[in-house]
Structure 1
Amino acid sequence: MYKVIDHTVQAQLITRPPATRPLSPSLRYDGDDPLAVRIVFPSDISLDGEEVIWAFSRDLLDAGLRGPAGEGDVHVWPCGLERTVVELHAGEGVAVLEFRSADLWGFLRCTYDVVSAGTETAHLDLDEGIAALLRGV
């Protein structure tokens, strides 16, 4: 069992017409799932009143802090020296969030203290993962 990191950060939801709405999502990392990071949005901002969690690759976050990265549902890119944009695509639309880059870098460094970069696969429990996939079959 590995440590779970949960950092609440400030972000801005970029809306149309160009406006912003402040948010306080959590950035979460669980060493038991070493390849992924999560952005957890509080229930008070979701359409259905439930907490919303977006999981994506830790490598994508790292790459997106350095330059444009991502394909599919999640895109990350630096916006100047102090801000980073995370774009989330869903069936309901697109959410564009702006974070302080320092907050994301600090979170990422903490995740590397739990599981070092490049060692993620050594921390995966493949037997448990396969068992979970086959449960109920």
Structure 2
Amino acid sequence: MNGEQAGGRTGRTGWTGRVGEAGPPALRLDIRRVLDGVPVQPIGVEFRFDPSSPMVVSATFTPGHGREVTWRIGRELLYRGLYGESGEGDVQAWPVRGETADVVWLLLESRESSAVFELPMAEVEGWLDATYGLVPAEAEADALDWAAFLGELLDDREQCGD
């Protein structure tokens, strides 16, 4: 998808934070897990953006009971999911138009389980726009600390036993 297609970032307003700030604040949401096509199970999520690793956002899910789980999700994948089907395999996102509000469904799959979450589109879009205001898509590679990024990938792979 390029900037001329639906969901492109061209012309978006950017983050209006002060110079020297690390980035937009975390986005904290009360969302719902979707079961059998119906959003029912409440859960908390916190999205964070690190300008030194701009290609991904982290999402920490906090269920009512159980332990927190953090996923790293491609920023572009999540953004594209606001406007159409995005992603393959373990992480996918797509918009769902509702009677009262538009939402994004986010599918996360692991070896042990899978879950679909309903995210409020307007809040996610506003937060992602702020991240792109801080580090535009065309500057992601310049802002990336390649050594740290590759180190994280290799550490994650070793932890998964691959």
Indicate the structure with greater strand content. 1
Partner SS, residue 110 of structure 1? helix
Give the aligned length: 131
Q: Following the alignment from structure 2 to structure 1, what is the Cα–Cα distance between the partners of residues 114 and 62?
A: 17
Q: Percent identity?
A: 29
Question: Which residue in 1 is equivalent to 2:87?
Answer: 70
| 1:116 to partner: Cα distance | 1.3
Counterpart selection for 1:27 from 47, 58, 75? 47
| 1:113 to partner: Cα distance | 2.2
Task: Please state if 1:38 is matched with 2:53.
Answer: no
Structure 2, unmatched stretches of 5+, are 1-19, 155-162
| 1:127 to partner: Cα distance | 4.5
One-letter amino acid matched to 1:111: T
TM-score (norm. length: structure 1): 0.82
One-letter amino acid matched to 2:85: P
Structure 1, unmatched stretches of 5+, are none
Q: RMSD value over aligned CA atoms?
A: 2.5
CA offsets per residue over residues 74-110 of structure 1, 9 Å max, x none? 0000001611100000112111100110011011011
| 1:117 to partner: Cα distance | 1.9
The 8 Å contact of residues 2 and 31 in structure 1, kept in 2 or not, is answered as no
CA offsets per residue over residues 38-74 of structure 1, 9 Å max, x none? 211126543xx3x210111111011111100111100
Counterpart selection for 1:122 from 136, 142, 153? 142
The 8 Å contact of residues 6 and 27 in structure 1, kept in 2 or not, is answered as yes
Question: Which residue in 1 is equivalent to 2:74?
Answer: 57
Task: Please state if 1:3 is matched with 2:33.
Answer: no
